[in-house]
């Protein structure tokens, strides 16, 4: 197993370009199963989760040709009735996204339960409710048995604004007979990309970017070409890396139009940036003073569904808050295991109180010190990597495969910015 060795205390400086959005790439690869014609995806991130999704769609008959390292041509002339590898499905949460496209095109699927990060209970009920509303019969006994004699449009109110359930429902409805109205739909940028991609292939989806989507089913989809947008989690992670090391960086193609709420939250931590077109510039001089609420109360940063502050960004913001002056409460009500990584920050010198599984109180700033760490999941792993960059001394991070599930060439990009980070065998 490999690990990262990080010598902290060196300000990052330079320019970096984020890779394609992981959370868009995974459903887009699944959506390629909806058409028998060739599809070209560009800016595909070369990360572990994407490779696993590639293996899954190839097992169903997709042929993937690499035009270059980040551009793939995917052709699925016919779907092969096969039992998906349970070990592959167990490695990523996004394996559930196979359900909608295969059901729509082939009418049946045997799907092992998905895996992914261990950050608390992650229910699948919303997927099942949506697919059943579209005409699917679904049974579960250690594996999902999904079949339909023909999908039909429906008026669906999702019981939660689930990103992957929205994507599954949209992909299935694209080939269903009649009109589907999908309410309480997720509207994250990567959900918008899936809808835009399907429209390029000939789907009829209206209301993109809103919480109500109207999908008029078509008999078949065509081929097409699509470029995946920047990974906003990667953008935010490099903002955090610059801030905690007191560095100055320019992030190219940062998707700044989607960062308004993130900017509001980071302002409350005393973090500011400038924009130049679609580039984002993080200056070295940052106030790093936490803004109290109007009545002087400790501010609360609470995650919520888009366009509110996303749960995936909480871990990065928490590490940044350890370097800001003042107190702040973080509240992530979505996942009961999201906050447990903070004990590792405490071990590095941070002043953090874990109030309950969903809330932590942070008092900063504190000097962080090197430690031997292990990445528990993608986002917490990157947050710990940021802490190591800010710490005095040399830290090691084990289980870096978790980080690399979501970040392409993270050590190379950080070295280009001046970080002292190397990869070695444990």
pLDDT surpassing 70 at residue 158: yes
Number of Cβ atoms within 10 Å of the Cβ of 52: 21
Number of Cβ atoms within 10 Å of the Cβ of 278: 13
Instruction: Please give the order of strands across the beta sheet that includes 394-398.
Output: 372-374, 394-398, 2-7, 420-425
pLDDT surpassing 70 at residue 215: yes
Confidence of residue 295 (pLDDT cuts 50, 70, 90): confident
Per-residue pLDDT, 82: 64
* Residue ranges, CATH 3.65.10.10, the chain: 2-19+230-425, 22-227
- pLDDT tens, 18-72? 999 999 999 999 999 999 999 999 999 999 999 999 999 999 999 999 999 899 9
Per-residue pLDDT, 122: 55
Confidence of residue 91 (pLDDT cuts 50, 70, 90): confident
Hey, what are 128's tokens?
A: 């099942």
Confidence of residue 425 (pLDDT cuts 50, 70, 90): confident
- pLDDT tens, 310-359? 999 999 999 999 999 999 999 998 877 789 999 999 999 999 999 999 99
Cα–Cα nearest to 134, from 98, 170, 161: 170
Q: What positions carry a catalytic annotation?
A: 117
CATH code: domain 22-227 is 3.65.10.10
- pTM for the structure as a whole: 0.94
Per-residue pLDDT, 376: 87
Per-residue pLDDT, 132: 95
Where does 17-136 show beta strands of DSSP type E?
Answer: 39-42, 63-68, 71-75, 108-111
pLDDT surpassing 50 at residue 120: no
Structural fold of domain 2-19+230-425? UDP-n-acetylglucosamine1-carboxyvinyl-transferase; Chain (3.65.10)
- pLDDT tens, 410-422? 999 999 999 999 9
**Largest alpha-carbon pair distance within the chain?**
63
How many Cα atoms within 13 Å fall on the side-chain side of residue 256?
A: 14
């Amino acid at each position: 197993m490999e690990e990262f060795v990080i010598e902290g205390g060196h300000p990052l400086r330079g320019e970096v370009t984020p890779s394609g959005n992981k959370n868009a790439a995974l459903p887009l690869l699944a959506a390629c199963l909806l058409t028998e014609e060739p599809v070209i995806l560009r800016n595909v991130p070369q990360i572990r989760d994407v490779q696993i999704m590639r293996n899954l769609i190839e097992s169903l008959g997709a042929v993937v040709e690499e035009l270059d390292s980040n551009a793939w041509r995917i052709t699925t002339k016919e779907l092969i009735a096969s039992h998906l590898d349970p070990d592959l499905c167990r490695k990523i949460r996004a394996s559930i996204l196979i359900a909608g496209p295969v059901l729509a095109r082939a009418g049946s699927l045997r799907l092992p339960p998905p895996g992914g990060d261990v950050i608390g209970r992650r229910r699948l009920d919303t997927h099942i409710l949506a697919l059943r509303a579209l005409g699917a019969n679904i049974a579960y006994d250690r594996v999902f048995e999904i079949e339909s004699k023909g999908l039909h449009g429906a008026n669906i109110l999702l019981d939660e604004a689930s990103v992957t359930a929205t994507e599954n429902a949209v992909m299935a409805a694209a080939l269903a007979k009649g009109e589907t109205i999908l309410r309480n739909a997720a509207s994250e940028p990567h959900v918008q990309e899936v809808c835009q991609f399907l429209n390029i292939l000939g789907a009829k989806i209206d209301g993109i970017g809103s919480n109500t989507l109207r999908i008029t089913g078509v008999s078949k989809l065509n081929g097409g070409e699509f470029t995946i947008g920047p990974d906003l989690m990667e953008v935010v992670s490099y903002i955090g890396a610059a801030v905690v090391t007191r560095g100055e960086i320019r992030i190219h193609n940062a998707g700044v139009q989607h960062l308004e709420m993130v900017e509001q939250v980071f302002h409350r931590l005393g973090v500011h940036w400038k924009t130049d077109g679609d580039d984002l510039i993080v200056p070295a001089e940052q106030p790093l003073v936490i803004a109290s609420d109007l009545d002087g109360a400790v501010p609360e940063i609470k995650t919520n569904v888009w366009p509110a502050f996303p749960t995936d960004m909480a871990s990065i913001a928490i590490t940044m808050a350890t370097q800001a002056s003042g107190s702040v409460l973080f509240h992530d009500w979505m996942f009961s295991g999201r906050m447990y990584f903070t004990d590792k920050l405490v071990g590095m010198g941070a002043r953090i109180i874990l109030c309950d599984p969903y809330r932590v109180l942070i008092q900063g700033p504190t000097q962080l010190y090197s430690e031997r760490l292990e990445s528990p999941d993608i986002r917490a792993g990157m947050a710990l990597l940021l802490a190591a960059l800010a710490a005095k001394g040399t830290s090691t991070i084990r289980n870096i495969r978790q980080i690399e599930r979501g970040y392409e060439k993270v050590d190379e990009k950080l070295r280009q910015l001046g970080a002292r980070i190397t990869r070695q065998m444990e």
